Amino acid sequence: MSSADETLQQLRPGIPSFDCIPGCHDCCGPVTASSHEMARLPRKSEAIHDAALAELSCPHLGANGCEVYDERPLICRLFGTTPSLPCPHGRGPKQLIDARVEQRIHWFARNTRQVLV
């Protein structure tokens, strides 16, 4: 396991979870993720990527929501857990993410190769 994979495993538990509105995918737009995170996701064709980008959506968003929810990138996990990425419907965890964890996530993003999901 690489140090980046270890960092991902350490960061994920520090991101609080909450229940979204069923069927909502307002935060599922084009995002970037580290190449380490992308390696965990199933490959999508260029046509699927292009179609999702044209709709400002994610290629992993299916009819029933996120198809890669358990492996979703850190940025997707952050939505709704921090004032800098609020849920457009006001949802969120009882307690927002610890600022130190959020800073580590941003450090990780700045220091790893980022690619369009």
In a domain, 19, yes or no: no
In a domain, 69, yes or no: yes
Q: What pLDDT does residue 2 have?
A: 80
Does this model's pTM top 0.85? My answer is yes
Q: What pLDDT does residue 1 have?
A: 67
In a domain, 35, yes or no: yes
In a domain, 87, yes or no: yes
Q: What pLDDT does residue 22 have?
A: 87
In a domain, 81, yes or no: yes
In a domain, 82, yes or no: yes
Q: pLDDT means per 10 residues in the chain (117 residues)? A: 89 95 90 95 96 96 92 96 95 96 96 95
In a domain, 53, yes or no: yes
93 vs 16: CA distance, rounded Å: 6
| Structural domain range at position 86 | 3-13+26-116
